[in-house]
Amino acid sequence: MDESELPADVLIIGGGPAGSNAAWELGKAHHRVTLFVGDKPVSSPGSEAGESSLPAVLKNRELFHLFQQETSKTLPVTVERKRITEVRRLPNGLFEVEDAGGNVWPGRLLILADGAEEVMPDIAGYQTCWQQQRILMHPSEGKHGRVPVAVLAVGDLAELTMALHAVWQIRQYASAVRVYTHGDPELAQELLSRVSPDAAITVESAYIQEIQPDADSSHGVTVQLDGGKSEKAFLYHRRAAQLKGNDPFARQLRLELTESGAIRISARVPYMTSMDGVYAGGDCASLGQRTLLKALAMGEGVAAAVAARLERGRWKNLAYEEESCP
C-alpha cells in the first residue's frame, strides 16, 4: 500500500506555537504527521513580557508561515490549510478529523493544540479601549504622571489570589494602585482585608458604567462609575479565556475539563487527556497561563510523550515479528 494512503501517525489540530513545535519535533523523529493550521491567515504568536530573546521566526507572521512551510518540505509533516470542524474516534481505535467540506483524514493519535479565545468583559466601551491598546496587558515600569494605575478585577482577575498577584505586580512600578471590582463587594472586602492601610492600594466596588478613551492621554482611559463618579486611570486587565468555537473538540470527544474550562491533562501520563490516544498542549490545556514560552514548552513536551507512545508500539510490534519468525 502507498504510504500516503496509510493513516498518519499523528493528527495535530492547531498551527500555533504548540502545534507547530510538536509537528517539528515529531517530524524530526521520523513520525508521519498531518498538521491542520486552519483556513485563515497565520496570526503572529503573542509575545509576553520577558520573551524578547525568542527567535524572530516565532514572533513574525511571515517568518512563522515560512517555518511551517519548511517543516512540511524537510520533514514527514503534511501541513493542511484546512479548518477542522469535527473529530471522532472510530471503532477500530483510529481517529478521524473532518473539515467543513467533508474531507476526512485518519490518524493513529490525536493532538489538540487549537488554542483558546479570549472573552471580552461585558462593560460598555471596553472593546473600543482594547482595540486602541489602552488596556494594559503586562505590568511595566513607565511614567504615569499623576494618573493612577488601576487593576480591573473581573474575569480571571475576579479570583482573589489572581487579583492580589496582579495588584502587587503593578504596585512594583506604581506609587499607588486602585482596584475596580465592578460591583463585587465581597471581593473588594477580601482585598482590603489583605493589604495594609499604608500600602497605597485602594479598592472601588461600584459598578463600572463605561470605559472611555482619555482625551488627554494616548494610553489612558476614563472610568465612569455608577452614581456619576468619573476617574482617569492607566488600566491593567487580563482577559479570561475559553476553548474555541461553539462546539469545541473537547466537547465532541467528551473530554474532562478543569475548573477553568481547559482540557484536563493527566499527571500520570504526560499530556494525555481523559481519552486514550488524545493529547493536548498549548492554551487549550492551559487557559490560566497563556504565554508563548509555555506554549512552546508544551508543544515539545506533548511531542515527546506521543513519540514515546509511537516508538513503544513500534518496538513491541518488531519484537513480536521476530518471535514469530521460524
User: What average pLDDT does this structure show over 96-110?
Assistant: 96
- Residue 201: its pLDDT value, please? 93
Q: What percent of the chain has pLDDT over 70?
A: 81
Of 42-46, 98-102, 239-243, 313-317, highest mean pLDDT: 98-102
The architecture (CATH level 2) of 121-238 comes to 3-Layer(bba) Sandwich (3.50)
Cell of 121: 468583559
CATH topology of domain 3-118+241-324: FAD/NAD(P)-binding domain (3.50.50)
Give which of 151, 13, 22, 184 is closest to 84, Cα–Cα: 13
**Residue 325 pLDDT > 50:** no
- Residue 50: its pLDDT value, please? 37
pLDDT in tens, 225-275: 998 899 999 999 988 888 988 778 999 999 999 988 899 999 889 999 999
Looking at the DSSP assignment, which residues form a beta bridge with residue 310? none
Burial environment of residue 315 by CB neighbours within 10 A (0 to 12, 13 to 18, 19 or more) = exposed
- Residue 148: its pLDDT value, please? 82
Place of cell 521460524: 326
Domain residue spans in the chain? 3-118+241-324, 121-238
pLDDT in tens, 107-133: 999 999 999 988 899 999 999 999 998
**Residue 206 pLDDT > 70:** yes
- Residue 223: its pLDDT value, please? 96
Phi, psi of 272 (to 5 degrees): -80, 135
Contact (CB, 8 A) for 279 and 109: yes
